[in-house]
Amino acid sequence: MRCEHGDRYTLFCDEILPCVVGKTRWSDNIWQVKISDLATPSDEAFAHIILENNWDVWVELAEGDMESSSAASSAENDGENGSKTVACPKYTQNGIHAKRYHGWTHEGIKRFNTLSLEVRRDRKLDAKKNMGSFEHLYLARKKEQYLSSKGRKKKSPLEPCPSSKGDEIWAMDDLSVTPLNSSEVRDTAAV
């Protein structure tokens, strides 16, 4: 997993895993702690199985968006009886048409259990690498991203705010700032 597919696993950790862990919790903490401190092996396995379960559906949706106006694509997608074939999730019962409380198939539950074991094994192998592990490299990258973006979050004002004296109101005349008395503002409003 992470050991074999570093770049793909980085994308998985950036885009999929935060949806399972919680985006706010993830973004507030990922630059400070390792992935294994934020996501349990079950969280990680669940993110994997959600991706596997829905991949064909998402690919079909993406291709449909790109080719929706093409007549050739609709001819390719037609089934034997002229109806459009629709991808279904792999491991959830009856796909989109599932009734309430129908959940994962037995095959899906087995796959989740297998993924959980693989994640645990993968984490152990990764931990043996110490500072060269995926988790340490990912944490270092996230910390660097956080620190480099930290200065950009604060926006400096364009001009300092003038200190007001009594009931003066500041008006912009071309490029100069001229204080007006509130009585002058009332006079110009009456005109």
CA 113, CA 42: separation in Å to the nearest integer? Answer: 9
pTM beyond 0.75, yes or no:
no
CA 160, CA 106: separation in Å to the nearest integer? Answer: 65
- pLDDT tens digit string along 70-88? 544 444 445 555 556 677 8
54 pLDDT above the threshold of 60: yes
CA 157, CA 125: separation in Å to the nearest integer? Answer: 50
- pLDDT tens digit string along 85-95? 677 888 886 65
